[in-house]
Amino acid sequence: MSFAKRTITGSMIFLVLFIPGAGLSFSKEKVAFTVGVEDYENFMPYSQYKNGRYDGLGKAILDIFASENGYVFTYEVYPLKRRDRLFTEGKLDLIFPDNPHWVPDLKRGLDVRYVPMLPYTDGVVVLPRNRGRGKQGLKRLGMPLGFTPYQYLADVWSGKIELQESSYRGLHAKVISGRIDGAYVNIRIARYYWRNMRGTGEKRLVFDPDLPHAKGYWSLSSIKYHRVLEAFSAFLEKNEDRINTLKKEYRFDIAPPRKQGREQATDLKNISFPIPADFI
């Protein structure tokens, strides 16, 4: 994998009007910022980096915020571990996505601030007939490339659970065929791809909320530019309807409320949001 930096700059047009005799003053406040992002191809609707283009719901929200606040965001695309290292070394102004629970050792001693943007649930999907069986029903657990199922690592290390990595298409086929007992995935990402994969329409998988899972938010973060985060937080609060419209355009799938099962979630500040059981 190449470690070269890839840069995408948000489109902005500046019109400077010179009026003879008029006094000109220029603010020294920084307006151009680098945003470190990940080079993963299959993270829609949140994000994707494909064919040299960075896209997704997260970027759409950030672009509107930057445009309306006079900022220029330049998206620098890196493999995840290198992006995190550059951020903690002070070489990136902001990063997306981030989370207080991610790479805490790298961030130790740094004043990292966060603004929650997009909710996530990482958990296990199974065949409908297998929901509610508990961890004892998981002997073989699949996951996408790059994922780490932290809630299951003790069982993996003790030999109780075998891990298998695969593509999203491969995970769906393996669960349906019984080659694995479940797949640990980001629920919205799996739903996005599996609903659009040919041949999966009649083969439904379900999220099992009784199994350990992680919930929280993909956030925008910064070490040095807290004023930008404050402005972004205010922007999100004032533009909830516009952002919900974007979520519909990107098929983020705002779920209707339902009664939850017994939850064993790693929760960020007790944030909770509904995920329908029959999501595929």
| Residue ranges covered by each domain of the chain | 6-13+28-119+217-249, 121-214
Neighbours of 232 (CB within 10 A): 22
pLDDT at 194: 86
pLDDT at 25 over 60: no
- Over residues 115-164, the pLDDT tens digits come to 999 999 999 999 999 999 999 999 999 999 878 898 999 999 999 999 99
- Domain 6-13+28-119+217-249 and domain 121-214, same fold? Reply is yes
Strands annotated E in 127-270: 140-144, 162-166, 182-186, 206-207, 213-222, 265-267
pLDDT at 264: 41
The residue written with tokens 């999501």 in the block is 279
Q: Which CATH architecture has domain 6-13+28-119+217-249?
A: 3-Layer(aba) Sandwich (3.40)
Among 24-38, 46-60, 72-86, 168-182, the minimum mean pLDDT is found in 24-38
d(CA 233, CA 227): 10
- Over residues 162-218, the pLDDT tens digits come to 999 998 889 999 999 999 999 999 999 999 988 877 554 556 899 999 999 999 999
Instruction: Check: pTM over 0.85? Answer yes or no.
Output: no
pLDDT at 234 over 90: yes
Residue 60 burial (10 A CB sphere; 0-12, 13-18, 19+): middle
pLDDT at 46 over 90: yes
Among 94-103, 165-174, 200-209, 269-278, the minimum mean pLDDT is found in 269-278
Which residues are bridge partners to 216 per DSSP? 120
3-state class of 13 per DSSP? coil
Summarize the chain as % helix, strand, coil (round to 5): 30, 25, 45
Superfamily of the domain at 121-214: Periplasmic binding protein-like II (3.40.190.10)
